[in-house]
Amino acid sequence: MRHAGAIYWSQIRAMTIANLKSRYRKTVAGFFWVVLNPLIMFGVQAFVFRRIMKIQIPNYSMFLLSGLLPWIFISQSLEMTTSVFISSGPILRSFSIHPLVFLAAQLLDNLINFTAAFLMLYVPLWFYNPPNIAGLVLLPISIAVLIIGVLGMSWILATSQVLMRDTRFMLSFALNIGFFLTPIFYPREFVPPQYRFLSDYNPIFRLIDPFRYSIYQYDLLQFARAIALAAGVALASLAAAVLLWRRKETGVYLAL
Amino acid sequence: MSTSPSSRDPILEVRDFNLVFRVDVHRSQSWRETFVNLASSPIKALIDTRDSHQVARNLNLNIYAGERVGILGINGAGKSSFCRCVAGMYAPTSGTIKVHGKVRAIFDTAVGIHPELTGRENADLLVEFLYPRANDKRAIVEEALEFSELGTFVDVPYRHYSKGMQARLCLSVISSRPSDLLILDEVFDGADASFSRKISGRVLDMIRKSGAVIFVSHSFDQLAMVANRLLVYDKGTIHYDGPVEAGIHDYKSLIGY
C-alpha cells in the first residue's frame, strides 16, 4: 500500500514532467528562453546600477544575485500559479484530484528554471569571489523555506483568483510596486530608519533576506535571525492558506 | 481493491447530512467591485445579502457492498452535489459522511489533463490520477489505448481530438479498474453510438466488480440495466429508496410524466 504522501509526490512529479514536455516540445530553445529571462534581467540591472547609477556596494554582482534571483522566483511563481485552479477547473470538477497537485507541479516547474538560472549565474561568479563553504551549505535551508513560503502565498492567491477574478491583476500591480519597495537592488541599510518598516514588514523581503547571509555576506548569527523570521513568514502563509482553503473549499469548486 | 468488506458492512455511511450553499448573484466577484461597493455604500456592502439554498436536508443513508445505487432527480435537485460531498470535493455544512475504502468519482468523460500533450500522454496522466495505487499503470494505459480504437491518433495532441474521440479515450481509461466505491455521474454520454455500445459493456463490467456503486443518470433504461437499488432525490431529501422499477414509477408520478 502506497503512503498518501508518496501518491501526491508521484502525481506532482508526473504533472511537472507533463508541464515541461508541453512547454518545451514546440520550441527547442524554450528552456533557454525561460532561463535567459532572469539572466538578461540580472545583466541589465547589474550594468545600470553599478555602471550608470554607480551604486557603492562591494561585489555588487553577487549582492544583486542574492536578492534578484529569489525575487524572480517568487514573482514568477506567484504569477504562474495564481490562475492554476481556474485553468485546471474542468479536471478538478471531473475527478476527485487534490487541487494542490496542480499548484505544486507549477511551482516545481518554476523551481527547475530557477535552479538552472541560479547555477548559470552563481557558479561563474565563483571565479571572481570564491564562495564561503559554510554559507553554501546553508543555501538549501534558505531555498526550502522560500518554497514553503511561496507555496502558502500561491495557495492563497489561487484560491482568491477563483472567487475574485481580478486577483492576478492586483498581484501584477503589487509586484510592480513591490520590486522598488523591497531591498533587492539596494541594501536594507540604504533605507532611512523611518521607512524601514516597508522592508521589515514585507513578507517577500523576509523570504529573500537569508540568501544575502548565505551567499553574499556570510554571517551565521545574521543568517540564523533572518532564517527564523523567514520560517515564521513561510509557516504563517502556509497556515493562512490552509485556513482559507478549509473555509472556501466548497465555494471554490462551485465557482470553478 | 484495497479492502474486501463483507456484504453487510456499509461502504458508505451518511448521518444527519446537510449541505447549504450561500448564493448571491449580485455578490461582487472582483476586488475592484468590492472596493467600489465599499466606498459607495459601506453599510450595504457589509450586510450579508446572500440567500441560502439547501441542497441536502438531514440525509441518513447506508450503502452496502454489492449495492448499485441509481440516483434519479430533476436538474438542480442536488444529486451531483451529494456525490461531490461523498467524493470529498464539497465539505458538508453539518453531519458526517464516512467512506470505508477507496472512492473513485467521475463527473465528466471528455476531459483531457493537458491539451498540448498526446492522447497517450494524457492517458498516462489520467491513470496516475485515477489509479494512484496501481502497480501496473503502464499495462492499464496500453490496454485502455487498445480498447479506445483510436489507432495512430493516440500519438496526436489531445487538442486536435473531436468530442467523441476525447470521450473514447477518457471512457476507456476510467473504466479500466473497479473500486471500493465508484461514483459515476452521467458517464455514458459523449461517445458515438457504436462506441457507446462497446463501452457500456466495459463500464458494466467495472460496475459489477466494484464494491458499491452510485450511478447518477436521467436514463430509465440505463438505471434499470445498472442499478439494483434506486434513490429518487427531490429538493434535498430522499423521496424514494427501494427497488428500481417502483422507483422509476415514483419518479414519473413526482414529475407528472
Q: Any idea of the CA torsion for A231, A236, A237, A241, to the nearest 10 degrees?
A: 140
Residue A22 has its nearest CB partner, among B32, B108, B114, at B114
**pLDDT (0 to 100) of residue B78:** 87
**CA–CA separation, B67 and B54 (whole Å):** 27
Calpha distance B169→B118 (Å, rounded): 11
Q: Are strands B181-185 and B103-106 parallel, antiparallel or unpaired?
A: parallel
Cβ atoms of A128 and A42 within 8 Å: the answer is: no
Domain ranges of chain A: 4-255
At A92 the three-state DSSP class reads helix
Where in chain B does DSSP place strands (E)? 10-23, 51-64, 68-72, 94-99, 103-106, 181-185, 212-216, 229-234, 237-242
Q: What is the pLDDT of residue B27?
A: 61
Tens of pLDDT, residues A171-228: 999 999 999 999 999 999 999 999 999 999 999 999 999 999 998 988 999 999 999 9
Q: Does any CB of chain A come closer than 8 Å to the CB of residue B229?
A: no
The grid coordinates of residue B45 equal 456592502
- How close B202 comes to chain A (CA, Å)? 19
Q: Does A32 score more than 70 pLDDT?
A: yes
Give Cα B162 to chain centroid, integer Å. 23
Question: What mean pLDDT comes out for the span A75-103?
Answer: 93
**Block residue for cell numbers 442536488:** B78
In chain B, the residue whose alpha carbon lies closest to the alpha carbon of A165 is B30
Nearest chain A Cα distance for residue B113, angstroms: 6
Strand (E) or helix (H) holding B47: none
**Would you state the pLDDT for residue B1?**
39
- Smallest CA-to-CA distance from A158 within A85, A96, A107, A244 is with A85
Q: What CATH code is carried by the domain that includes residue B208? A: 3.40.50.300
- How far is A145 from A164, CA to CA, in rounded Å? 28
**Residue ranges of A 187-246 with Cβ closer than 8 A to chain B:** 246
Asked if residue B46 belongs to a domain, the reply is no
Structural domain includes residue B44: no
- The C-alpha atoms of residue B144 and residue B137 are separated, in whole angstroms, by 11
Residue B19, domain member (yes or no): yes
| pLDDT on residue A94 | 87
Dihedral of CA A127/A132/A133/A135: which sign? negative
The reported pLDDT for the residue numbered A114 is 86
Position A16 scores a pLDDT of: 95
Neighboring chain B residues of A94 at a CB cutoff of 8 Å: 106-109, 111
ipTM exceeding the 0.90 mark: no
Element (H, E) at B180: none
* Residues within 8 A of A (CB atoms), B 34-93 only: 34, 84, 87-91
B180 to each of A96, B17, B222, how far by Cα in Å? 15, 21, 21
Chain A residue with minimal CA distance to B118?
A22
Q: What integer pLDDT is reported at residue B189 of this predicted model?
A: 62
**Number of residues assigned to chain B:** 257
Q: Please say if the pLDDT value at position A253 is more than 80.
A: yes
Residue A163 contacts B where some CB pair is shorter than 8 Å:
yes
Residue B149's pLDDT is: 92
**A244 pLDDT tier (thresholds 50, 70, 90):** very high
B193-209 and B163-174 are packed helices; what angle lies between their axes, rounded to 10 degrees? 20
Residue among A15, A92, A94, A248 with most chain B CBs within 10 A, to mutate? A94
Provide the domain limits for residue B193.
10-38+52-255
Which residues fall within 8 angstroms of residue A134, CB to CB, at 6 or more apart? A218, A220
Per-residue tens of pLDDT for chain B, all 257 residues: 334 444 567 999 999 999 998 776 556 678 888 888 888 877 776 776 667 888 899 999 999 998 999 999 988 888 999 999 999 888 899 999 999 988 989 888 777 788 889 999 999 999 999 998 888 999 999 999 999 999 999 999 999 999 889 888 988 998 898 889 999 988 766 667 778 778 888 888 888 888 899 999 988 988 998 899 999 999 889 999 999 999 999 999 988 87
Burial class of residue A205 in the structure, from the number of CB atoms within 10 Å of its CB (0-12 exposed, 13-18 middle, 19+ buried): buried
* pLDDT value of residue B26: 52
Number of separate domains in chain B:
1
Pick B133's closest partner by Cβ from A1, A15, A93: A1
Q: Residue A101: its chain B contacts at CB < 8 A?
A: 129
C-alpha B181: how far from its chain's center?
Answer: 11
Inter-chain residue contact A18 with B84, CB threshold 8 Å: no
Size of interface A-B (CB pairs under 8 A): 79
Helix (H, G, I), strand (E, B) or coil at A62: helix
And the C-alpha cell for B240?
Answer: 424514494
- Does residue B27 sit within a domain? yes
* Any domain includes B198: yes
How near does any CA of chain B get to the CA of A118, in Å?
29
Report yes or no on B193 lying in a domain.
Answer: yes
- Listed in sequence order, the residues at least 6 apart from B10 whose beta carbon sits closer than 8 Å to its beta carbon are B62, B63, B64, B100
Return the pLDDT at B5.
42
Q: What confidence score (pLDDT) does residue B28 get?
A: 60
